[in-house]
Amino acid sequence: MEQKIQQLKNLLAEIADLNYISALLGWDQQTYMPSGGAEARGNQMALVGRLAHERGTSVELGNLLDELKPYAATLDPDSDEARLVKVTARDFDKASHVPSSHIVEFTQVTTLAQQAWMEARQNSDFTIFRPHLEKIVELRLEYASYFPDFTHPYDALLDDFEPGMKTADVKMIFEGLRPKLVELIKAIASKPQVDDSFLHQHFDQGKQWKFGEEVITKFGYDWKRGRQDKAAHPFTTEFSLNDVRITTRVDPDFLNPMLFGTMHECGHALYGQGVAPELERTGLERGASLGIHESQSRMWENLVGRSLPFWEYFYPRLLEVFPQFSAVPLKRFYKGINKVKPSFIRVEADEATYNLHIMLRLDMELALMEGKVSVKDLPSVWNAKMQEYLGITPPDDAMGVLQDIHWSGGMIGYFSTYSLGNLVSAQLWEKINQDIPDLDEHIRHGKFEILLGWLRQNVHRHGAKFEPQELMLKVTGSRIDPTAYIRYLKKKFGEIYGL
Nearer of residues 217 and 380 to a second copy, judged by Cβ? 217
Q: Are 165 and 466 in contact (CB under 8 A)?
A: no
Is the CB of 76 or the CB of 224 nearer to a second copy?
224
DSSP 229: E
Alpha-carbon span 286 to 471, nearest angstrom: 14
Axis-axis angle for helices 126-145, 153-161 (nearest 10): 100
80 or 238: whose CB is closer to a second copy?
A: 238
Q: Measured from the CB atom, is 54 or 481 closer to a second copy?
A: 54
CB atoms closer than 10 angstroms to residue 126: 23
Quickly list H helices, 372-461. 378-390, 416-435, 439-444, 449-458
- The least CB distance from residue 351 to a second copy, in Å, is 32
What residues make contact with a second copy under the rule CB under 8 A? 13-14, 17-18, 20-21, 24-25, 28, 32-37, 39-41, 43-44, 47-48, 51, 222-227, 229, 239-243, 245, 280-281
DSSP state of 251: B
Asked if 88 and 12 touch (Cβ cutoff 8 Å), the reply is yes
Q: Give the shortest CB-252-to-a second copy separation in angstroms.
A: 17
Q: Give the shortest CB-403-to-a second copy separation in angstroms.
A: 25
Residue 340 CA to residue 350 CA, distance in Å, equals 6
Taking the least distance from each CB to a second copy, the nearer of 222 and 495 is 222
Comparison of 47 and 118: residue with beta carbon closer to a second copy: 47
Largest CA distance in the chain: 69
Looking at beta carbons only, is 276 or 473 nearer to a second copy? Answer: 276
Instruction: State how far Cα 218 lies from the chain centre.
Output: 22
Distance CA 412, CA 158 (A): 8
d(C-alpha 468, C-alpha 485), whole Å: 17
Q: Active-site residue numbers?
A: 265
Q: Which of 468, 462, 470, 472 is closest to 429 using CA atoms?
A: 472
Residue 237: strand, helix, or coil? strand
Question: Residue 212 and residue 92: Cα distance in Å, rounded?
Answer: 40
229 or 348, CB closer to a second copy? Answer: 229
Least distance from a second copy to the Cβ atom of residue 135, Å: 22
Neighbouring-strand partners of residue 246: 228, 236
Task: Using DSSP, state whether 79 is helix, strand or coil.
Answer: coil
The answer to whether the Cα torsion of 347, 351, 353, 354 is positive or negative is: positive
3-state SS string over 419-441? HHHHHHHHHHHHHHHHHCCCHHH
Residue type, 35: S
* DSSP-assigned beta bridge partners for residue 154: none
* Nearer CB in complex with a second copy: 27/117: 27
Which of 240, 300, 309 has the alpha carbon at shortest distance from 268?
300
- 348-380 core/surface letters (b: 16 or more CB in 10 A; e: else): ebbbbbbbbbbbbbbbbbbbbbeeebebeebbe
Q: Is the Cβ–Cβ distance between 386 and 423 less than 8 Å?
A: no
Rounded CA gap, 118 and 405, in Å? 8
- Which H or E element spans position 238? strand 236-238
Give the nearest distance from C-beta 68 to a second copy in angstroms: 23
From the CB of 224, what's the least distance to a second copy, in Å?
Answer: 5
Q: How far is the CB of 24 from a second copy (least distance, A)?
A: 6
- Minimal distance, residue 86 CB to a second copy, in Å: 25
Q: How far is the CB of 95 from a second copy (least distance, A)?
A: 19
CB of 50 to a second copy, least distance (A): 10
Closer to a second copy by Cβ: residue 155 or 238: 238
Q: Which residue(s) pair with 251 in the sheet?
A: 254
